[in-house]
Structure formats: C-alpha cells, structure tokens
Amino acid sequence: MNADDGPDTLGAQLAEVARLREAGDLAAARDAARAVFRAAAEAGADDIALEAGLACYALDLRLGDHVGMLDDGALLRPRLEASGRRRDLGDLLRRMVLSACELARFDLALALAHEACEAARDQADDRELALSLAALGACFERMGDSWQGERLMSEALGVAQRVDEPYVRLAVLNNLCAVCIGRFYRMRGVDDDDALAAVERAVVHAQAAQALLPLLPDPLFGVFVDGNLGEALLHAGRLDEAAPLLQDALARSRTHGFHAQTWRITCSIAELEIKQALPREALARLDAIAPAAIAARQHATLIRLHQTIYRAARDLGDTYRALRALEAHERLERERATRQLRAQSELFVTRAETERVRQEALAAREHAQRFRDEARRDALTGLANRRDLQEQLPVRLVAAAAQRRAVSLAVIDLDHFKRINDRYGHALGDRVLVAIARLLREGLRQNDVLARVGGEEFVVVLFDTPPALALEVLERLRHRIEDHAWQAKADGLAVTLSIGVAHAPGYELAPLFERADRALYRAKADGRNRLVVAEPAQA
C-alpha cells in the first residue's frame, strides 16, 4: 500500500478489513487493518487512520494477542486523545490493562487502571467508573490478591447496576466471576471451604451474565461467559452441567479464532477429564495447545496450563513430568509475586492508595447522585420511587443470592382508595398516603426497603428475615394501618391494606415482583384486608 493512496482507495481497503473479519479470517483482517493504519497515517488521512487503529485493537482482542494489543494500543491512544472520543479512549485503556496483566506487566497495568479511574472520577461517569474499577480489580486478582480484586469488582457491580447498558453489567459480572474463580484456585487445598464458597459465587455471577447474552450478540461475549460458567460449574462439582457448556464454548471459540479463550477452555476440559479419571486424555489435550500457548507468553494462561499438566501427570504416576510442570508453575508464581512487589513499589500502590482512589470515586459519585435524587424520590411521601427501586434493589439481590440469604418482597395496595378520593377529596387522599408512608416506615428497620411504586401501591423488601418472621412483620403492618385513628382525619374514614408477598430463592427482581403481585391480586379477590403468600419459585 502506498502512502499516496487517496481516501477512496483507503476507504475501500478499510472495507476489505471488515469483509475479512466477517469471513472469520481474523489474522488476515488485522494485517490488512495495520497496513491501512500505516498508509492513512502517512497520507494524513486521520479519520481513516483512527478507524483502522480501532479495528486493529478489536482484532487483537479476538485473537488473544496481548502483545499486539499493547503495541497497537500505544499507536492508537494519541489519536483517540486528539479526537475527543472519551469513551473509546477509556475502552482502549481498560483493554490495555487486561493485556498488560496477562503479560505480567503489572506496573503498566496499574498505571493505566488508576488513570482510567481518575478520568471516570473527574467526569462523574458511572459507566466509565464501573468498568475502570473492574479493570483495577482485575489487576489485583492477576497479581495474586483475589480478596482485593473481588472487593473492587463488587464495588464496580454496584455502580454498573445503575447504568442502563447491558454491556457494562455483563462485563463486570463476567470479570467478577473470573475473580472468584481465581480465588478458588488460590484457596484450593489451603482452605477448601473458602474455595467452594468462591466458586459458588462465581456460578451466580456467571449465570447473571449469561442472562444478558441475548442483548449482546457478539460471539466473543458468549464464549467468555459460557467458558467461565462452565469452569465454575466444573469446580462446584456440577460436572453434567459443565461438560456440554465447555464443549460448546470450545467449539465456538475455535470457529471464531479466539485463541486465548480456546486455551483457557481447553484447560477447563482437561480438569473435567481429570475429575472423570481420564488423566491420559487430559494430558494429550494439554500437550496439543502447549506450544502455541507458551509462544503467546500469556502469564495467567501459562500458570493455569502448567498447574493442570501437573495434576494430570501426577494422576498418571508420571513423577518426572509432574515435577517439571510443578517447577514451571512455581517459577511463574514467583515471577508474578516479584513483579507485583516491583509494580507496587514503583507506583506507590498500596491498599491505602487504592482506598484513596475508591473514596475519591465514591465522593464523585455522590456529587453526581445529588443531581439525580429528585428523580428517584416520590414527591408526595418522600419514599423511594419505582426508578430508585429498579436501580438499587438488583445490587442487594445479587449480594443476597451469592450468600443464599433470606429475602421477602411484598407488594402492598390500599383497599378501595378511589372511594376515599371520591368521598373525601384528593387532598385528604394525599394526606392518607403520607400517613401510610410514615406508619409503614416506623414499623420497619432502617435496612429494610420501602418504596411507593404507584398511586396507592407500595413495595416492602425485608432482607435477612426468615419467611415466618417476615410474615409476622407484614401482618403487624397490616394491623397497624387498620387500627390507626383514621376518623381523626375525617368522620367515617377507614383504611385497610391488601398484601402479596414472595420469598426467595428466586432473587431476580422482576420475577420476584411478579410473584408477589399475583399474590396481591388473590388477596384482593379473596375479600381484601389480608395477606397472601405467593407460590414458591419454580426451579
């Protein structure tokens, strides 16, 4: 390609990049994109150079070429900064973070992750903050600190739940799953209870991510999520569920040329074969991918590869092979620990520093939150409204699901409220609603959720309250309303409630709400002023 090529020629060659990518020839597509980038840069065709650069690093990601990701990213970054495409720049920085982690270049990874967090904090951008906190959490997990990694990832999930973008939630959930799996590997054989709890959390996070896949048709997302879910199910002992999921993810990964994911999923299938007492088949499978994986120099993948080879060789009684794999694994772990210490020393990244970044990010979020509070509060009663419930409750439900904690959701409706408005006027009706809100709040704990979600409809969510006790609480609320001195407000005024309640398990907000709502309709049909419990969620 000549530097004199005009925009039309360069544009046609950029279209050829897209054609090669659609045809599945990712390596050829990347070579073509790099050629377009060089020629466009020399010709001063900045817009085409930028698009070609974006195509390069997207293809690096799919090929699992982390060296290429850092090289192409370094060339693309100044062009994105000059273009003002802030979100594309944030996306690039975060992917460079993950590539640097894969190559154990933790100094670079931490510098880029902190830069991304600072930018998100300055811009008070929840989308960027969620993804950047997840990238920072990935740094700590890859450096061996799964505890700090999971904490940062959980914080990222809390932010992501407020962002109306499935990609953000899926990315954070998938990364949180990977962190929990990493914790499993570190604790396996050291604290098996901790390891099992971590992998059970990984299953929950991966299933939540999998539920979002229909909204994101990119095949890479499906391979990532299904591969992680299969790996988590495998180590949770659910082999019959893990096997078909891993085989299908591996087939799709090979079809699309996703090399890095192919290697990782292959390791998971080898672990499955080891559990099935097929160590010889597992070792043959690992030997088939070892040369390419070693040549790619992906640190985390190599740790996993040598660890699995060790387990297969040990089960075969091949002591020499097992010892060689164990030595290679230990060498990589020592290298990771050394690079971690060096990176933290050079960049002064300590837990206190991480906490400072976290606190600054929280302060920025709270500053932005003040401008959104009015839209998330019910103007009449001061309670949370439906929007606030939909933004805040999923985060707490995810946390409750991870630990299988008790949750009860009740939908409450005032009986014959239209008659009150018609007989006494809307002004009195409003006073009744305000009084109802106060009486309900006074009968609940500070940690319980109370929201007004419709004209005369309220929602109560009780956490960490066994179902029998939750029913007692709700019955007390019903009697509290019925027995209140309503006639002091107007002669003949009486107010009662109908309540439908649903208990977890079944931690997703929409199905939980629907079950409670159906129970409420039965309470209305049965004569009102009563509580009805929903049927248990179907498995």
Tokens 């802030």 identify what position?
A: 86
Burial (CB < 10 A; 0-12, 13-18, 19+), residue 491, is exposed
Element (H, E) at 400: helix 386-402
User: Packing angle between helix 279-296 and helix 299-316, nearest 10 degrees?
Assistant: 160
Cα distances (Å, whole numbers) of residue 41 to 58, 67, 315: 19, 21, 55
Strand, coil or helix: what is 26? Answer: helix
Read off the tokens for 31.
């070579």
Cα radius of gyration rounded to whole Å, the chain? 28
Q: What Cα–Cα distance (Å) separates residue 383 from each residue in 441, 464, 470? A: 9, 21, 21
81 is a catalytic site residue = no
User: Per DSSP, what are the bridge partners of residue 407?
Assistant: 463
Count of C-beta atoms within a 10 Å radius of residue 190: 8
Q: Which of 231, 456, 457, 535 is catalytic?
A: 456
In three-state secondary structure terms, 381 is coil
Among 522, 531, 427, residue whose Cα is nearest residue 482: 531
> Whose structure tokens read 């009740």?
410
CA distance 171 to 173: 6
Find all residues with CB under 8 Å of 174, minimum gap 6, and list them.
Answer: 205, 206, 209, 221, 224, 225, 228
Please say whether the beta carbons of 506 and 512 come within 8 A: yes
DSSP label of 532? E
- For residues 156 and 168, the answer to whether their CB atoms sit within 8 Å is no
Query: Where would I find the H helices in 297-318?
Result: 299-316
Q: How many CA atoms lie within 13 A of 207 on its CB side?
A: 16
Query: CB count, 10 Å around CB of 61?
Result: 19
Measured torsion, CA atoms of residues 433, 439, 445, 449, in degrees rounded to the nearest 10: -10
Q: Which residues contact 5 (CB under 8 A, 6 or more apart)?
A: 13, 39, 43
Alpha carbon dihedral 145, 150, 155, 159, in 10-degree steps, equals 120
Please tell me the distance from the alpha carbon of residue 358 to that of residue 133, in angstroms, as a whole number: 8
Answer yes or no: are the C-beta atoms of 302 and 294 closer than 8 Å.
yes
Query: CB under 8 Å to 399, separation ≥6 — which residues?
Result: 154, 405
Residues labelled as active-site residues: 456
